[in-house]
Chains A and B, each alone.
Chain A
């Protein structure tokens, strides 16, 4: 029981210190936004994203802030645990007094915060998580999502795939929700366009534990005309290396979800695959004003180039500023209503947070991979608007619960 004595002491001291904290909050200060992300274990993705937000905030605040106040983000690490993220969300809302919550790259953390947002009536902008469930099956009034979802990106690739005469397909995707969603969406979209297509094998390596040699052999065994790849990060690097060494990609069309994003393509260096059809972010070849302005500002501000996360971070700051401006206050209800149908001008053009499912119409760049100066790039790309790759309104209505 002496242990409990310790606990009392600890509890009393923290209580005291926390009460102290609460007293120090003050009005007429910046508008605070809570940002929860996987900063530590996935720093390679989180850092460019955070830089994007910071760049956005600098521009917004230099222009006088929003509704007369500066905008500021509080960044917290979720440790990859949904339960931890909820605790942090509670703290951000109740102790820091944030106007709303945003962030998360991991879909499960996003879903946990989304459920929290609906229950505790807090606005949540899911900036990075891709899970379709966020806006459909588990969608709710308080959750909005910025990034082009799994379904949308898979549908874009399926459209490209349908143009070829490939009939048999193999899929390879990490064995978790994102991978399964990505394969299901691609199959559905492709079969709708080309009912004669056949999926001859589906490979499901464990996330970040791929046995690339075995996967390459298994796909080779099925002799498909084309391959649909959802692996990313270290898994992608291993798969590309083993596949190239073993000649798996010779004479086959390959479609890679997210493969063209600098986060995944750059680490491959001169081993980047050539001729894959991918979604990604060709920052190096963007010429139109809005996109180029962002890339140039980013290059000037940081010593490095933007990645897709940087763009998403920048657009997150823009979206939140626009919503606050439209709402005219930081009140949750006003903010929530402001997000519904919110229009934002971004580097990739105007986007809308759709009324029917709160998904933004941010699109994606689709192109072909090639080698240039010893690194992988996307060529012959086009920007596809997100609005064209979402299911019909009736289908969305069927997927989405009435109201929660």
Chain B
């Protein structure tokens, strides 16, 4: 019994940091609709700033003052980020801002490395709270008790701010209907800035307050990201009490998981999230999203049209150039082109789902990596010839997409996105933990192509035919009746159904097609690298694709491909430099601000303007 209570208390103490950081994320999303990937970076900054302050300020008062100051300093950094980076892109298509926040992550990573150096910092202990209290004989750290007592006060203060003050009323109003608040004469941009400041402050507090239980290191930003998204989604996006309940639920379950099912540590929270979302599609305390608020922000999509003669000739020339590439005599160029085409196909498959279907998948790597693993598993365990394994990969990926799509399509918007993420994580942890079958994180090696394809030039030809073929196929589907039905389902589900389109079926088919094509990309990938590891199934891989789709232009047909090719080429060049992440991050932010329609979309507008002026 004593142990049970002690474990419960450990869980409650762990929930403190998680709640602080997640509540900030939830607030920011609720009001601004920004999925702030950089929230983990604010948390990390909070830890580093708090650490530095604690070196200077002495005693118990100094400790708590450092925590508060760290929160405020990070809040100011958040405010600067909001004003400089996000404010210019509020009018951009939905979720476009997440690309900007991704740029912020890269910049903060390198700046933190510059300022605080590479060594992990062990957090100072809280003065006066170093020991333990015995509860029924079990030791409970005093600092844990402090955290348990403190968190409800923070929750109450936030609740009071939101529920009882004028600012809170505006925040709640903006959460429900932004346009209406603006129509009533409220200065939206300052409301957004204020909320961003508050959200970043909470993240900074979370980072500083965990110092006595941990420390500050450069991996913190990504390490907490998945967990806080899970908490926000389980609680219901925008709900503070929901975030608290979810943080406690996850933390307590985790403590018991550690004791009674130690192998569960990787996957537990994603299982909980998937179960909650399948039973309660909007999280525990979330509300159904208001129809119309998502989807069409900014100008409406243009109707798509087939490529003109000029474009066709250019594509033909590009293909010729690609086929002639081996003549340039550089082996590396051939390898690089192969890599880029594979990534382009992967991005194009996500773009098909996201741009044409309006279905934001956060877990698209599941089909890319899934396809690659299907091929690799057949080669490793059944000695399947490469050619057959290559064909089985898209089938396996398509099958996975069919099942995951079927489960996820009951939800919409961000909840849909998060469920795809959770299920992709489940697949990842299955691959990661099932050592005997999948090789775990040591992966599967020696998956090389057959003799006739082993030459890099020949493999490039295969990649061009299959990869570019896949991209063109997706384009054709966009122009087919199916493509029209898919866009109709995206733009207005009700009207589409009224015309007799079974929208769910169309969307499920689109999900499966995207999965199959991602699987093709995965098969091309595994045989070009000769090995496969779970990182190809990771969240980071899904986000890579997501970012290039937005960077290229989600509302254009070629956005995914162009974004993928540009980013890969840029990265290939930049990664040679010491502080490449800083440069890449700034570059991404610059593109986001200068080209809020994405590269293709903005170039198109520019082109039309120039032509219009000359007429």
Q: 28 A-B residue contacts at CB 8 Å?
A: A4-B558, A4-B562, A11-B322, A18-B328, A18-B333, A44-B120, A87-B335, A87-B336, A90-B332, A111-B443, A115-B531, A116-B529, A119-B530, A138-B445, A177-B441, A180-B435, A202-B262, A209-B227, A209-B265, A211-B10, A211-B258, A213-B13, A217-B10, A237-B214, A241-B122, A245-B141, A247-B132, A247-B139
Known: A206-B265, A217-B255. A112 touches B332 (CB 8 A): no
A328 to B328, CA, bound (A): 33
* Minimal beta-carbon separation of A293 from chain B (angstroms): 26
In the complex, whether A290 has a CB less than 8 A from a CB of chain B is no
Point out the residue from B119, B254, B552 that lies within 8 Å of A3, measured CB to CB.
B552
Contact residues of A between 230 and 247, Cβ < 8 Å to B: 233-234, 237-238, 241-242, 245-247
Which residues between 561 and 582 of chain B lie within 8 Å of chain A, taking CB atoms? 561-562, 565-566, 569, 575-576, 580-581
Contact B214 A8 (CB under 8 A): no
Are B218's CB and A43's CB within 8 A?
A: yes
Whether B3 sits at the interface, judged by CB under 8 Å, is yes
B6 at the interface (CB under 8 A from A): yes
Interface string of A1-22 (1 = CB under 8 A from B): 1111111101110110011001
Known: A2-B311, A211-B10, A241-B125. 11 other contacts (CB 8 A): A4-B314, A4-B558, A7-B318, A8-B321, A11-B565, A40-B581, A138-B442, A175-B265, A211-B265, A269-B122, A404-B446
Distance from B591 Cβ to chain A, minimum over Cβ atoms (Å): 13
Q: Which of A98-121 contact B (CB under 8 A)?
A: 107-108, 111-112, 114-116, 118-119
Interchain CA distance A241-B26 in the complex, whole Å: 31
Q: 8 nearest interchain CB pairs? A: A3-B558, A1-B311, A43-B118, A3-B562, A94-B331, A115-B445, A1-B307, A214-B255
Cα A35 to Cα B339 in complex, Å, equals 21
A2 to B266, CA, bound (A): 43
Interface status of B448 (Cβ within 8 A of chain A): yes
Which of B325, B331, B442 makes the CB contact (< 8 A) with A95? B331
Residues 307-339 of chain B, each 1 if its beta carbon lies under 8 Å from chain A, else 0: 110011011011001100100111111011101
Write out the residue numbers on chain A whose beta carbons fall within 8 Å of the beta carbon of B120.
Answer: 44, 233-234, 237, 267
Q: Mark A196-215, 1 if CB is under 8 A from B, else 0.
A: 00000111111011011111
Query: CB-CB < 8 A to B218: which residues of A?
Result: 41, 43
Confirm or deny: A271 has a beta carbon within 8 angstroms of a beta carbon on chain B. Answer: yes
Instruction: Give the residue of A87, A118, A218 whose beta carbon is less than 8 angstroms from that of B258.
Output: A218
**A234 & B113 in contact (Cβ 8 Å cutoff):** no
Q: Which residue of B lies closest to A17 (CB)?
A: B573
- Determine if A87 and B339 form an interchain contact, defined as CB atoms under 8 angstroms apart: yes
Residues of B within 8 A of A247 (CB): 132, 139
Q: Is A301 an interface residue (CB 8 A)?
A: no
B10–A234 touching, CB < 8 Å: no
Complex: chain B residue closest to A43, CB-CB = B118
Majority secondary structure of chain A interface residues (helix, strand, loop or mixed): helix
Give the residues in chain B near A47, CB-CB below 8 Å: 118
Please tell me if the beta carbons of A22 and B262 are within 8 angstroms of each other in the complex.
no
Which of A53-61, A74-82, A311-319, A388-396 is found at the contact surface with chain B?
A: A74-82
Partner of B219, one of A208, A215, A271: A208
Residue B467 at the chain A interface, CB threshold 8 Å: no
Residues of A within 8 A of B265 (CB): 175, 204-206, 209, 211
CB proximity of B226 to chain A, nearest CB, Å? 9
CB distance from B302 to the nearest CB of A (A): 13
Contact A6 B443 (CB under 8 A): no
Residues of A close to B357: CB separation below 8 A: none
Q: Is the CB of A91 closer than 8 A to any CB of chain B?
A: yes
Contacts A8-B314, A214-B254 known; A15 to B325 CB distance under 8 Å?
A: yes
Question: Contacting chain A: which of B64-72, B407-415, B598-606?
Answer: B598-606
Point out the residue from B125, B258, B308 that lies within 8 Å of A214, measured CB to CB. Answer: B258
Residue in B218, B445, B576 whose Cβ sees the most chain A Cβ within 10 Å: B445
- Asked if B437 is an interface residue, CB under 8 A from chain A, the answer is no
Q: What is the bound-complex CA distance between A1 and B331, given in angstroms?
A: 28
Query: Residues of B at under 8 Å CB distance from A?
Result: 3, 6-7, 10-11, 13-14, 109, 113, 118-122, 125, 130-132, 138-139, 141, 144, 213-215, 217-219, 223, 227, 254-255, 258-259, 262-263, 265-266, 307-308, 311-312, 314-315, 317-318, 321-322, 325, 328-333, 335-337, 339, 432-433, 435, 440-443, 445-446, 448, 454, 525, 529-531, 533, 535-536, 552-553, 556-559, 561-562, 565-566, 569, 575-576, 580-581, 599-600, 603-604, 607
Give chain B residues whose Cβ lies under 8 Å from the Cβ of A5.
311, 314
| Given the contacts A176-B432, A217-B10, A112 and B258 also touching, CB distance less than 8 Å | no
Contact of B569 among A14, A77, A202, A206 (CB under 8 A): A14
Looking at the complex, which one of A91, A108, A114, A242 makes contact with B213 (CB distance below 8 Å)? A242
Whether B561 pairs with A4 at a CB distance below 8 angstroms is yes
CA gap between A80 and B607 in the complex, in Å:
40
State how many angstroms separate the Cβ of B592 from the closest Cβ of chain A. Answer: 17
**A324 an interface residue at 8 Å Cβ cutoff?**
no
Residues of chain A from 219 to 275 with CB closer than 8 A to chain B in the complex: 221, 233-234, 237-238, 241-242, 245-247, 266-269, 271
Does A86 reach chain B (CB closer than 8 Å)? yes
Give the nearest-CB partner of A109 in chain B.
Answer: B533
Scoring A76, A81, A213, A238 by chain B CB atoms within 10 A of each residue's CB, the highest score goes to A213
Q: Select A221's contact among B130, B259, B322, B535, beta carbons within 8 Å.
A: B259
A131 to B599, CA, bound (A): 43
Chain A residues whose C-beta falls within 8 Å of the C-beta of B13 in the assembled complex: 213
A4 to B472, CA, bound (A): 12
Residue of A43, A76, A209 near B113 (CB, 8 A) is A43
Measured CB to CB, the closest approach of chain B to A179, in angstroms, equals 10
A209 touches B3 (CB 8 A): no
With a CB–CB cut-off of 8 A, which chain A residues contact B119? 44, 266-267
A118 and B311 in contact, given A238-B214, A267-B121 (Cβ under 8 angstroms): no
Query: By DSSP majority rule, is chain B's interface helix, strand, loop, or mixed?
Result: helix
Does A12 contact B321, Cβ atoms closer than 8 Å? yes
Q: Which residues of B contact A77 (CB under 8 A)?
A: 575, 580
Residues of chain A lying within 8 A (CB to CB) of residue B525: 83
Bound-state CA distance A8–B558 (Å) is: 13
In angstroms, Cα B435 to Cα A201, docked, is: 20
Indicate if A286 sits at the interface (CB-CB under 8 A): no
With A111-B531, A217-B3, A237-B214 known to touch, is A7 a contact of B255 (CB < 8 Å)?
no
Does A133 sit at the interface, judged by CB under 8 A?
yes
Contact with B along A268-298 (1 / 0, CB 8 A): 1101000000000000000000000000000
> Is the CB–CB distance between A131 and B328 below 8 Å?
no
How long is the Cα–Cα vector from A298 to B534 in the complex, in angstroms? 38
Docked CA distance A282–B49 (Å): 32
Which of B10, B552, B580 counts the most chain A CB atoms within 10 A?
B10
> Do residues A215 and B531 form an inter-chain contact, with CB atoms below 8 A?
no
Interface pair B529/A86, CB less than 8 Å apart: yes
CB-CB < 8 A to A10: which residues of B? 565-566, 569
Query: Quick check: B333 and A213 within 8 Å, CB to CB?
Result: no
| B315 neighbours in A (Cβ, 8 Å) | 1, 4
Tell me the complex Cα distance, A175–B132, Å: 29
Chain A residues, Cβ within 8 Å of B118 = 43-44, 47
Query: Nearest-CB distance from A387 to chain B (Å)?
Result: 25
Nearest-CB distance from B15 to chain A (Å)?
11
Q: How far is the CB of B70 from chain A (nearest CB, A)?
A: 18
B215 and A6 contact, CB distance less than 8 A? no
A94 to B432, CA, bound (A): 33
Contact of B533 (CB < 8 Å), options: A22, A76, A108, A241: A108
Residues of A near B14 (CB, < 8 A) are 211, 213-214
Q: In the complex the two chains form, is B312's CB within 8 Å of A237's CB?
A: no
A245 to B133, CA, bound (A): 10
Question: How near does chain A come to B309, taking the closest CB pair, in angstroms?
Answer: 10
User: How far does the alpha carbon of A138 sit from the alpha carbon of B445 in the complex, in Å?
Assistant: 8
Smallest distance from the beta carbon of A323 to chain B beta carbons, Å?
24
What chain A residues lie within 8 Å of B312 (beta carbons)? 1
Residue of B nearest to A85 (CB): B529
Which chain A residues lie closer than 8 Å to B227 at the CB level? Answer: 209
